[in-house]
Amino acid sequence: MAAAVNTPLPIVVLISGRGSNLQSIIDAIAAGELPVEIRAVISNRPDAQGLQRAARASIATRVVDHRQYPERMAFDAALQAAIDDYRPQLVVLAGFMRILTPALVQHYRGRMINIHPSLLPEFPGLNTHQRVLDAGRKETGATIHFVTEETDGGPAILQARVAVLTGDDADSLAARVLEQEHRVYPVVIRWYAEGRVQLDPQGQVRFDHDVLERPLRLSSESGAPC
Residue pair 76/100 in contact (Cβ under 8 Å)? The answer is yes
116, 129, 145, 182: the catalytic one is 116
What is the distance between the alpha carbons of residues 226 and 214, in angstroms, rounded to a whole number?
A: 10
Residue pair 68/74 in contact (Cβ under 8 Å)? The answer is no
Residue pair 44/16 in contact (Cβ under 8 Å)? The answer is yes
Q: Which residues is 81 bridged to in the sheet? A: none
User: Is-catalytic flag, 182?
Assistant: no
**Where in 44-135 does DSSP place strands (E)?**
61-63, 90-93, 112-116
Positions annotated as catalytic residues are: 116
